[in-house]
Structure 1
Amino acid sequence: MAAVVDRDGFRVRKASLRDADDIWGIVREEGWRPNNLQLIRAYMEIAKDGWWVAEKDGKIIGCVMVYSFNETHTFLGYLIVKPEHRGKGIARALKAEADTLAADRAIVLVANEAITPMYLKWGYKKSMRSGVGKYVVTIKNIPVAEAAEFKYEIKDYSEVDWKAILDYDTTFHVIPRERVLRIWFRIEHSQTKVLLLDGKIAGYGTIMPANDGFAVSPLYGDTPEACLVLLKRLVAPLPPASPVYLTIPDSSQAGQTLLAANVDTAKQTVYGYVLETGNSPPLPKWSNAMSLISVSFCFL
């Protein structure tokens, strides 16, 4: 049975997949984009023992997600309380359960500017990494030379050696995350493509429907050119004028190049910072990530 902690006027309990629709309702009402029910279900499968919800009168009014990659690092996301229930200690109660689950692990998240002061008050500190922006772009121009495109081969991930993909992923995120990627790559209607240069992986990216458009999440490449070539291939089949959501670190040269080339059709929807209670896990190619695997904005 899911653990329950009673509070003044509400209770906090562990969530299950049966709560996915209600959690999706909270996320949708909050206006977090891009998101959809399939993504919520994927996150719940990834962090199957790490979701908590707050209830009042039998209705879910808040949620939080915690996922521990290993014995030293935990990621936190989806800490949301419905507006009409804020200021009553519910977020703090949800965070307390997250802290208990994290145990002695360092907690890392990406928080938007509006709620960053709350986390700083709770003892988090800003990471030395660059800030992160969430953008929606109607992509009209991807500035990459035509000759560059012919250098690369692009395959569906299912046609590429799985171990090679995992090895490549750990050049970006040194903590192995095979289970995360297996779940992520099979999200309904998603497509994951791998970029090859001379037979070796030079990048990979996933695109999927989300809200009123499509999310590119993640997109990694060895060079800005590789990122842009892969992005061009990922978005090529989309209907004209489709909104495309990306989560771009400030230090991503490819991301900033894309934004500059589409300045009239790119809009920043949220901006935030990497926050942590300890040292973040190493991300050696942070600046090579054109778009993070995060659509929750609190999950790298």
Structure 2
Amino acid sequence: MEKATRPAVTLRAMSEADLEAAHALSRELNWPHRLEDWQFFLEFGQGVVAERDGAVVGTAMCWLFGEKAGTLGMVIVSPDAQGLGIGRKLMAAVMDILGNRTMMLHATEEGLSLYQSLGFVAVGEVFQHQGTAFSVPLPELLPDERVRPMGLRDMEIITDLDARATGMDRRRLIDTMDKSALGVMLTRDHEVAGFALFRKFGRGYVVGPTVAPDIGGAKALISHWLGANAGMFCRVDVTEASGLSPWLDELGLQRVGRVTRMIRGTPVPVDAEFHTFSLVTQALG
């Protein structure tokens, strides 16, 4: 009697032609990403797909932010193909693309043990908040502090502040977001002190990234977007260290999930005067 064999799994580079299959995989896991979100990720990132019998059964993506750091995410294996070591193979492939860069990711509970075995270390948590805020109190602004619309000349400032807060060169990400995102700037004494972007994502809209010098500035920026879009479904992913989670709960954006922030390699230096309070997405940081 012949012994049944498992179909071979092969890896190859992700192309735009794979995005519909990748989107179907994320929907299979009830992830909120639209096809447009996958297209956004691939526009300035790289991906790997796992194929079995001509069908895409797994994905992983990474983004190179300068010569020293990068992030990875969108690691998905179809439930029908789990237990075959595909996730580990996909991770090895994108880690090879990242090379010697410091690598950062946000891990679900299901992927935590895999990432730990690959040398990633937990450094904190991120809380996912989403929902509809119908009444957002006006923020208490400091004297000579205000929130104003983003202008054409602000993109260079946003890129600089983001780099100072994250320690990464995310110019390509910011430039790509500029095609679809709206922005507001926080100013103090007529000097820019922070910003927050707002764009369509998943089931509604996302506020992020938000960069500010302190929690008061972050609340002023996020309040602007939630207040201006009262009654609309919004998502905000905040770090545990930000201290914003209880406040978002009170506004009506309930905490619906948490992921573990992980890093492999030497942490990149950041400017202590600026902090990232909300993320672009969990995949991008």
Please give the range of the TM-score, normalised by the shorter of the 2 chains.
0.7 to 0.9
Instruction: Find the residue that maps to 1:113 and give its secondary structure.
Output: coil
TM-fit CA distance, 1:112: 1.7
1:113 aligned to 82, 103, 109, which one?
109
> What residue in structure 2 maps to residue 258 of structure 1?
247
Q: Report the 3-state secondary structure (helix = DSSP H, G, I; strand = E; otherwise coil) of the residue aligned with 1:251.
A: helix
Separation (CA, whole Å) in 2 of partners of 1:100 and 1:147: 46
Counterpart position of 1:23: 22
TM-score, structure 1 as length reference: 0.83
Alignment of 1:204-219 (within 5 A): 204-219=195-210
Query: Which residue is equivalent to 1:139?
Result: 133
Say if 2:277 is the partner of 1:279. Answer: no
Q: Secondary structure at the match of 2:164?
A: coil
Look up the equivalent residue of 2:160 and give its one-letter code. Answer: D
Cα deviation for residue 65 of structure 1 reads 0.5
Residue 208 of structure 1 aligns to a residue whose secondary structure is: strand
Is 1:64 matched up with 2:60? Answer: yes
Superposition TM-score, scaled by structure 2 size: 0.87
* Aligned partners of 1:61 and 1:85 also within 8 Å: yes
- Aligned partners of 1:17, 1:132: CA distance in 2, in Å? 30
The residue that corresponds to 2:145 in the other structure is 151
> Paired residue for 2:236?
246
Maintained 8 Å contact 1:68/1:74: yes
Q: Where in structure 1 are there 5+ consecutive unaligned residues? A: 1-6
Q: Distance in 2 between matches of 1:19 and 1:193?
A: 35
In 1, Cα distance between equivalents of 2:70 and 2:275: 23
Deviation at 1:197, TM superposition (A): 2.6
Contact 1:251 1:287 (C-alpha < 8 Å) held by counterparts: no
- Cα distance between partner residues in 1 of 2:186 and 2:148: 5
1:96 to 92, 113, 117: 92
1:246-265 CA distances to partner (integer Å, 9 max, x unpaired)?
11101113x23523523xx3
Assess if the C-alpha contact under 8 Å between 1:109 and 1:275 holds in 2.
Answer: yes
SS in 1 for 2:67: coil
Q: Deviations over 1:52-95 (max 9, x none)?
A: 11112222111000122233323111110111111112112211
Distance 1:131 1:283, change over 3 A: farther
Aligned mates of 1:149, 1:238 — CA distance in 2: 26
Count of equivalent residues = 280
Q: Which runs of 5+ in 2 are unaligned?
A: 1-5
Q: Is the 8 A contact 2:183 2:197 kept in 1?
A: yes
Given residue 226 of structure 1, which amino acid in structure 2 is its aligned partner? Answer: G
Cα distance in 2 for residues equivalent to 1:92 and 1:84: 16
**TM-aligned CA deviation for residue 22 of structure 1:** 2.0
The one-letter amino acid paired with 2:174 is L
CA RMSD of aligned residues (A): 2.5
Q: 1:270 to 1:62 in 2, by over 3 A?
A: same
Q: Which amino acid in the other structure matches residue 168 of structure 1? A: L
Q: Give the % identical residues.
A: 21
| Structure 1 residue 13, shift from structure 2 partner | 0.6
